[in-house]
C-alpha cells in the first residue's frame, strides 16, 4: 500500500508541474508585462467612444468577452460586482465585446437587458485590430493595465471571483 501512495503522490506532483507549465506557456502568448499599450478608441454600448487615454491614472481591468462564450457569461457577474466594489479605489472596468461586428449591438443589447443590466456602463466593442494588439485568441482574456497604461497582468480563460479579487488587489497596490 505505501508504494501505491508513493506512485499516486508522484503522479499528482507531475500533473501539477505539467499544469503550471501549460499555464506559463499560455501566459507567454499574451502581451508581456510592462508593455505600454497603444491608444485605441472603442465604441461604447451606451454611445460615444472610449479610449485608454481617458482612463490614465486608474488601474484598468480589460476583459475581452462575447455573449456566445459560456465561460464569459459565467465570469461576467463577478467582474461587474468587483468593478463596482473597487471603483472607488481607482479601478476602471472595460468589458470589450468580441461579438461579430455585424450583430454585436443587437446581441450585446439583448444580453445586457436580459441577463446583466449592471454591465451596460462598462461595455465597449473591440475591433479585430484591438484584439490582435492584445493577442486575444480565446475568450475570456483579461488584462490589467497600470495607471500609465502598461500591462501588469494577463490571463486567458475564466477565473473564480476570489482569483479575480486577488489580481485586482495586487494591481491596485502602489
Residues 6+ apart with CB under 8 A from 112: 45, 119, 120, 123
- What's the confidence (pLDDT) of residue 18? 39
Question: What's residue 104's pLDDT?
Answer: 97
Q: What is the pLDDT of residue 26?
A: 41
Q: What angle do CA 30, 25, 9 make, to 5 degrees?
A: 145
Displacement of CA 138 from its chain's centroid (Å): 11
Q: Which of 144, 148, 143, 122 shows the shortest CA–CA distance to 56?
A: 148
Tell whether pTM > 0.95: no
Distance between CA atoms of 153 and 150, rounded to whole angstroms? 9
Q: What is the pLDDT of residue 29?
A: 83
pLDDT of residue 1: 57
Q: Give residue 28's pLDDT.
A: 53
**Mean pLDDT per 10-residue interval, the chain, length 174 residues:** 56 44 50 91 96 94 98 98 98 98 97 98 97 96 97 97 98 92
pLDDT confidence of residue 15: 46
Q: What is the pLDDT of residue 161?
A: 98
Predicted confidence at residue 38, as pLDDT, reads 83
Choose among 149, 103, 104: nearest CA to 125: 104
Amino acid at each position: 500500500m505505501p508504494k501505491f501512495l508513493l506512485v499516486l503522490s508522484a503522479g499528482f506532483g507531475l500533473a501539477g508541474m505539467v499544469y503550471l507549465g501549460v499555464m506559463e506557456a499560455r501566459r507567454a502568448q499574451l502581451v508581456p508585462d510592462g508593455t505600454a499599450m497603444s491608444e485605441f478608441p472603442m465604441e461604447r454600448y451606451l454611445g460615444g467612444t472610449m479610449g485608454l487615454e481617458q482612463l490614465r491614472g486608474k488601474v484598468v481591468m480589460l476583459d475581452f468577452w462575447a455573449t456566445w462564450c459560456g465561460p464569459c457569461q459565467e465570469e461576467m457577474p463577478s467582474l461587474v460586482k468587483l468593478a463596482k466594489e473597487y471603483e472607488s479605489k481607482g479601478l476602471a472596468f472595460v468589458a470589450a465585446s468580441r461579438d461579430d461586428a455585424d450583430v454585436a449591438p443587437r446581441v450585446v443589447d439583448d444580453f445586457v437587458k436580459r441577463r446583466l443590466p449592471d454591465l451596460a456602463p462598462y461595455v465597449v466593442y473591440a475591433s479585430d485590430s484591438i484584439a490582435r494588439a492584445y493577442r486575444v485568441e480565446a475568450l475570456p482574456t483579461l488584462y490589467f493595465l497600470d495607471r500609465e497604461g502598461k500591462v501588469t497582468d494577463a490571463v486567458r480563460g475564466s477565473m473564480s471571483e476570489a482569483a479575480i479579487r486577488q489580481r485586482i488587489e495586487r494591481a491596485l497596490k502602489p
